[in-house]
Chain A
Amino acid sequence: MASPDRPLGLLAELSYRCPLRCAYCSNPVALHDYAEELSTDQWRRVLSEARQLGVLQLHLSGGEPLLRRDLVDIVAHAHDLGMYSNLITGGQALTGARLTALADAGLDHVQISLQDVDPVAADAVAGKPVHHRKLAAAALVAASNLPLTLNVVLHRGNIDRAGSIIDVAVGLGADRLELANTQYYGWALVNRAALLPTAAQVAEAEQAVRAARQQLDGTPEIVYVLADYHDDRPKPCMSGWGSRQLTVAPTGAVLPCPAAAQIPNLGIVNVRDAPLADIWFDSPAFNRFRGTDWMAEPCRSCPRKEIDHGGCRCQAFQLTGDPAATDPVCSLSPHHDLVTAVVQNTARPPIVPRIMRSLDHPL
């Protein structure tokens, strides 16, 4: 196999702590395993090594990254290195003073999540009355010199309001709107039966997106993330394993994607124990599914193997127990009936809200 490319993006999961309880959260369910967060100096070292490795895009996420009191320091260090920093936040804790401090430190872009546009439904999903504070935070960003992205995770309970969500994004002056169908990892997988929309709901939302794109002059840009369970070809997950992005989890585990820690015996290395470049180029975790040599049939002889990379390794593991299997979303997968059965199942159990266990209290 040729030497891997250098990564362009780093997802820095600064903390899994979060005041919200969203049932579609992709964070790991066993959060009590993740209590010991990297220190400020350790994050500085991670960012310096990431820049030397080639990273230009920094996604500051979590959990809720604003819970890190050293966030301004981390942003300032990223800016000094020449990185473009994106803050991925719930927004409820974003004050004008904090935003100004982050912007002065060199923050480049803010993404705020909204749970819904119906305030009652939004607060029910978040588990707290935060919707109006989120709208206020979005207005603060829109009035600043930073670009604003709104992110709304779509699921059975809110997808029918896709058109109204677009209207709210326009009203807030957002530059981008991400309408992202739930991806079933972590808590979202636990709640899959309750969250999964019907095929008809998905089709209607996609029609609303098409209509809005025609009607708007390109602002906000609408980024629509597909509902892969309703598709018959898998998503090109991470643009290929260990190809363009890496994730550093709150504890320092370096992962090919945020969900990868669940795959057994992956050979995950912690950034406390090795230089980031060694982990990217040489660790078993990153080399396990690089390229196409690991593929079995039907991927191995598939003309699309360089396009969709066999889909998602974590999804293959979650659904079949084998992380090297073809993503069962693909209609060519021998396990595709597993996805079909989920989509056709009409039982709607109650939602299990994300809980934090030992992480509920700040460290």
Chain B
Amino acid sequence: MSGWKLRTGVRLQYDPVRGAHVLLHPEGVLRLNNTAAAILTLCDGDRDSAGIADLLAESFEAVVVQQVQGFLTRLAQRRLVVADG
């Protein structure tokens, strides 16, 4: 399948006030946990869920490809990420 990327107008950012990553989008803010932020950092438009899970396995033991796929699919339904291509 094609690679994941943030949708146009969506920005991933660290918020030092809350000590957490956030996903900013038109009229909204989604607060992220560390795993979610790590997944989104790897959404460069080229990597698919398996590619992201492989890279994450180096730092997060418990992440499997189904979790990555499920998380990004939910974000796609909320119009925050798209599968490029």
Interface of A toward B, CB cutoff 8 Å: 6, 8-9, 51-54, 56-57, 59, 82, 84, 86, 108-109, 111, 145-147, 149, 175-176, 218-219, 221
Contacts and interface: CB of A to CB of B under 8 A. Distances in A.
Interface string B41-85: 000000000000000000000000000000000000001000000
28 contacts: A6-B18, A8-B29, A9-B29, A54-B15, A54-B17, A54-B18, A56-B22, A57-B24, A57-B27, A57-B28, A59-B27, A82-B13, A84-B11, A86-B27, A108-B9, A108-B24, A108-B26, A109-B9, A109-B26, A145-B8, A147-B8, A147-B9, A149-B26, A175-B8, A175-B9, A175-B79, A176-B26, A218-B79
A245 B71 CA distance: 28
A86 B11 CA distance: 13
A51 B15 CA distance: 9
Contacts of A51: 17
A145 B25 CA distance: 14
A82 to B, nearest CB: 6
A64 to B, nearest CB: 19
Interface string B1-33: 000000011010101011000101111110000
Given A52-B17, A218-B79, A221-B79, A57 B29 contact: yes
Closest 4 pairs between A and B when the two form their complex, measured CB to CB: A147-B9, A84-B24, A109-B26, A54-B17
A274 B32 CA distance: 32
Interface residues of B, number: 15
Nearest to A223: B27
Contacts of A59: 27
Nearest to A244: B29
Contacts of B9: 108-109, 146-147, 175
Nearest to B11: A84
A51 B22 CA distance: 14
A9 B27 CA distance: 9
Contacts of A146: 8-9
Contacts of A6: 17-18
A219 B82 CA distance: 13
A54 B13 CA distance: 13
A108 B11 CA distance: 9
Nearest to A57: B29
Contacts of A219: 79
A54 B15 CA distance: 8
Given A82-B15, A218-B79, A147 B26 contact: yes
Given A54-B18, A86-B26, A109-B9, 12 more contacts: A53-B17, A54-B17, A56-B22, A56-B29, A59-B27, A82-B13, A84-B11, A84-B24, A108-B24, A145-B8, A176-B26, A219-B79
A102 B50 CA distance: 38
Nearest to B14: A82
Nearest to B10: A147
B80 to A, nearest CB: 11
Nearest to B18: A54
Contacts of B11: 84, 108
Contacts of A53: 17
A12 to B, nearest CB: 14
A169 to B, nearest CB: 14
